[in-house]
Amino acid sequence: MTETPLQGGPDATYFRYLEAGDWRIQKCTGCGTHVFQPRVMCPACAGDAFDWVAPSGGGTVYSTTIIRRRPERGGDYNVALIDLAEGVRMMSRVEGLAPDMVAIGLPVTARLVDDDGAKIVVFDPTGETS
């Protein structure tokens, strides 16, 4: 769906979709490149027209780190860079595994969750883990 970004730019449009429970990323109408983080100009062709498309949800962990917290503050968690099947990379976290079990190359699948009153994209392991 082609849409003019709301006041606040493409980030506002991205978060409006999330709040509606609909995860979307940009796809350049000029060259077909998927784009994330939301932008006003395509990094591949400098075009300025985008469709907002639903990603497949599939991805692979590109990088991961463990954030250490005291147990009373929620315990340790991971922060991961995920390469989506559409060719873009996003920062998120992998749930359903201990933080030290999240590994580079791990296949993951996205889902939306409520986090302190806002919807965010997190990932779960797909298939077997070792």
pLDDT digits (tens, 9 = 90+) for 40-80: 999 999 999 999 999 999 999 999 999 999 999 999 999 99
Decide if 1 is inside a domain: no
For the whole prediction, is pTM greater than 0.95? no
The CA distance from 72 to 95, in Å, is 19
Residues 107 and 93 in one domain: yes
**How many domains are there within the chain?**
2
The residue segments making up the domain with residue 98 are 58-125
Residues 28 and 74 in one domain: no
The CA distance from 77 to 57, in Å, is 21
Decide if 18 is inside a domain: yes
Decide if 108 is inside a domain: yes
Residues 41 and 97 in one domain: no
Instruction: Give per-residue pLDDT as tens, 96-106.
Output: 999 999 999 99
